[in-house]
Amino acid sequence: MRSANEIWEAALGELQIKISKPNYNTWLKETTGISYQNGTFVISAPNIFVAEWLNARLRSLVAKTLAGIIGGDVDIQFVVHGPEQNESGGLVCNWQTDGGISSKIKKTRLNPRYTFDNFVVGRSNRLIHAAAKGVAETPGHIYNPLFIYGGTGVGKTHLLHAIGHAAIANGFQVICISAEQFTNEFILAIRESKTEEFRNRFRDAQLLLLDDIHFIDGKEQTQECVFHTFNALYNASRQIVMTSDRPPQVILSLGDRLRSRFQSGLIVNIEPPDLETRLAILQAKAKQHKLKIPDEVLRLLARELKRNVRELEGGLTQLVAYAKLTGASLDHEMAAKVLAEVLVPDDYKKTTSPDFIMQTVANYFGIPTGEISGRKRDRRTTHARQIAIYLMREESQYTLSQIGKQLGSRDHSTVLHSYEKIAKQINTDAHLQEQVSKIQQQLHTAEPSHNKMKSGKRSQKL
Ligand code: ADP
Ligand code: MG
């Protein structure tokens, strides 16, 4: 048997050939293979940025490479070792466990970096920042529930944890849990016939912070459990805060009861930051990590990396890592080179596949992918179909007639009509604009294969 480290060395050898040299040097060079047990291969990265980047961008390639070497499917986990270990390990919520089922419910960790102090406020997040602070000070009184939604990497989890830190400092009992973790623990409770006990644990919380609530979409039993937990807390004037990648009205399976409860509080959308905020974030990060970076370099990054804060942070780390490795000085010229060579990974240059567009649109509207090309004509399906057509024209290289074919033999003029309808309406309809840009964000930020996996998971009912 080869050790995990030997297997990883072999994988690195292959990965070095598969990806560009700058990418390899920045992201993989300093990783090590930690363990391989029960089908999970654990890889250590030098810091949280690298771990997150690897997880978002190279996960499937790494899994494939390892599977080839090991000879079977492998799950991948990226962890952080070294000086930043504590940072990623985080704090435990002040939620006591006392044996029984509760001790099996994983204590949720708050990332110590995710505080209000470290959160840069700008035009795109001013309202939600104020609401979040208010909730942490007087939970249960204003904005209950608080529903935060927005695309990936815009700071939802950061704000949720910031509320957690501040509320704990104010002496409140906090439970912070991701919807995925909630679901897993709930399944465990069902298996052990301890659902009542499971629910009671949550009822003790003064604040319940639920991350990525869209995860329960389509999982009927979990949804029912969330509803009961929610009601119990809400009726006792406890504070509930939720984050989601989409607004409550498009989480189809929430059901009317839960949806109207969600809508009775404050629902806020966090937009990707504007240029000024992006620059402020970069300046804050540079200061936080004691990095001396010329302002013109930060400006260049802020101008180019528009999609979200995670991308912005990744860009900064990559630039610094690259400068360290090559010994080059961190100037405008070097930054431009890194941006061109490294920061625009191949995934971005490729046009998006029409299948992936249909799948993402269907997922967003909570309808089966097949209905985009099907014959149903209710409002939601028709609207989703028109948006899919619009995006196929904008984001893929398909011609109108190819799009028509893709959509179950619809003719060229029908396709054009749908495209033009959306193209015209998008200029005046803010809600439509928002829907389309959210879907585009998902198309641009997700690795296609990764996304397919995710949507597969979503369709599972529980
Ligand atoms: P989401 O949960 O929306 O996907 P996260 O909360 O995980 O995004 O944020 C991604 C990264 O960006 C985190 O490292 C977070 O600290 C950082 N970040 C997001 N918004 C801000 C902000 N306004 N100021 C400082 N850092 C931010
Ligand atoms: Mg998050």
Q: Name the closest-CA residue to atom 18, ligand 1.
A: 155
The answer to whether 144 touches 234, Cβ cutoff 8 Å, is yes
Residue recorded with tokens 């390990």: 89
Mutate to test the pocket of ligand 1, among 49, 241, 310, 312 (most ligand atoms within 8 A of CB): 310
**What is the DSSP code (8-state) at residue 108?**
P
The larger pLDDT score, comparing residue 250 to residue 388, is at 388
Question: Is 102 a pocket residue for ligand 1 (Cβ < 6 Å)?
Answer: no
Q: Measured from the CB, is residue 51 less than 6 Å from ligand 1?
A: no
By percentage, how much of the chain surpasses pLDDT 90? 33
Pick from 202, 196, 245, 252: nearest CA to 223: 252
Give CATH superfamily name and number for 126-270: P-loop containing nucleotide triphosphate hydrolases (3.40.50.300)
Query: For ligand 1, what atom is nearest to the CA of residue 284?
Result: 25
Q: Ligand 1 within 6 A of 129 CB?
A: no
Neighbours of 38 (CB within 10 A): 6
The CA 338 to ligand 1 mean position distance, Å, reads 23
Residue 153 CB less than 6 A away from ligand 1? yes
pLDDT digits (tens, 9 = 90+) for 276-304: 999 999 999 999 888 889 998 999 899 88
Nearest to 377 by CA among 351, 402, 410: 410
Q: Is the CB of 281 under 6 A from ligand 1?
A: yes
CA–CA separation, 321 vs 291, rounded Å? 11
Architecture of the domain spanning 4-92: 2-Layer Sandwich (3.30)
Report which protein residue has its CA nearest ligand 1's atom 26: 119
- Residues 152-161 pLDDT 10s: 889 999 999 9
Instruction: State the distance between the two ends of the chain, measured CA to CA, in whole angstroms.
Output: 39
CATH of 354-450, one of 3.40.1650.10, 1.10.10.60, 1.10.1750.10, 3.40.720.10: 1.10.1750.10
Say which ligand is closest to the CA of 148. Answer: 1
Q: What is the pLDDT of residues 160-211, one digit of tens each?
A: 999 999 999 999 999 999 988 888 888 888 888 888 888 888 877 899 999 9
Whole-prediction pTM value? 0.60
Can you give the residue ranges of every domain in the chain? Answer: 4-92, 126-270, 275-348, 354-450
Alpha helices in 90-155 (DSSP H): 100-104, 126-137
* CATH architecture type of domain 275-348: Orthogonal Bundle (1.10)
